[in-house]
Chains A and B, each alone.
Chain A
Amino acid sequence: MSATLDMLGMNPQIDAAAEHSPATRVEAVLVKAVLEGDRDGFGQLYGLYAPLVHGILLARVPRPEVDDLVQDIFLHAFKKLHTLRDASAFGPWIAMIARNRAVDFHRRSKETVEINDDLRGSDTHDSRAAEILELVRSLPEAYRETLVLRLVEGMTGPEIAARTGLTAASVRVNLHRGMKLLREKLGFMEGL
């Protein structure tokens, strides 16, 4: 990845201008490279944005379905990349695709069966994680997506804002209020 970025002249360590918004500049260069036929460039975009898409899906759809949906979403994005007008807005664009795909998923399937599947865990630690995730999913949509990206995917607030296209203030509010609601819900759980 670093080698390709060097070739494109967009290595954040080399390009001083890229220090202001390296993520958006890098993704814009990668999108242009993919549109010119560089398939490896899309692999790099996948590496950068797969955790974001995974987190968005995890906040909405059953866990066993998430990995396949991530692949589907990136293949769809690869086919439709030419429709992306602003190359630097790849993150918000693919986040929107992921949200729409989650809505489509719920339209086509029966949620009750999938929740039962989701709650099955291989061990107690996994089942606790699934229970907490279910509590997070019961929160309002804006809060649960931000909390999953923060607590599950390990992103910081500024990273979430940069990748989803939301403002830092919105992310901060969502994190604070979502965490407050989650703590209230967790108060009823034992062991935490």
Chain B
Amino acid sequence: MNEDYLWDKSGQPDPQIQELEEILGTLRYQPKPLVIPRDLVAPPRRRNYFPLLAIAATVLAALLAAGVWIQVRTSSEPQPEQAKVPTVVEEPRRDPVVKDSTPANKPVSKESTVASNIRRRHNTSAIKRLEREEAVAAKEQLMIALRVATEKLSLVHRKTQTTTPANQIKNQHRIG
């Protein structure tokens, strides 16, 4: 059997295969026109939006996660006092612009400075109150200690003055 002829009709033709081709060729497809009814329309291809939706959802989820993470991070960090300073400092910068139209002592800048002073006063008064309380407590402790020391000294003084010479001799004997 010639395999090349069976495969792609090349090479030496195989007589038995040729005979089979000749006999079976009578059954070959006879071209006929395809009649497609006029009312039959090929539906348009359905757009598959799933990959696009999946990408959009992923990006949205990533953005949300990043936003939450940044918010959590900033809120967990202790905000230093200095961080508030720029907001206070920024306001006086507006002064020159406003100065052109209003007098130098304008209420806006005053309010801002007053507000900042009030904050400072609040802070300093709170600190002073704490310090004063501590100082008063320390002073009381010191006074108590002084009183105790004075009492002890007076007791010792009294004891030394009331001692008799016999006792002294007694004591000397004990020592010796």
Contact = CB atoms under 8 A, between A and B. Distances in A.
Interface secondary structure of A, over-half rule = helix
A94 interface: no
Given A39-B36, A157-B8, A152 B42 contact: no
B140 interface: no
Contacts of A148: 24
Q: Is the interface of B mostly helix, strand, loop or mixed?
A: loop
A179 to B, nearest CB: 6
A74 B7 contact: no
Interface of B: 1, 3, 6-9, 16-17, 19-21, 23-29, 31-36, 40-46
Contacts of B7: 156-157, 172, 175
Interface residues of A, number: 49
Contacts of A70: 29
B19 A192 contact: yes
A43 B9 contact: no
A150 B3 CA distance: 13
A58 B20 CA distance: 16
Contact of A179 (B8, B17, B46): B17
Interface in A131-159: 132-133, 136, 148, 150-154, 156-158
Nearest to A39: B36
Given A42-B36, A71-B35, A175-B6, A55 B29 contact: yes
A50 B34 CA distance: 10
A82 B42 contact: yes
B43 to A, nearest CB: 5
A152 B24 contact: yes
A123 B19 CA distance: 17
A129 B34 contact: no
Contacts of B23: 125, 128-129, 132
Nearest to B37: A75
Given A54-B29, A82-B43, 11 more contacts: A35-B42, A37-B41, A43-B34, A50-B29, A58-B27, A63-B27, A71-B32, A79-B40, A133-B27, A153-B29, A183-B1
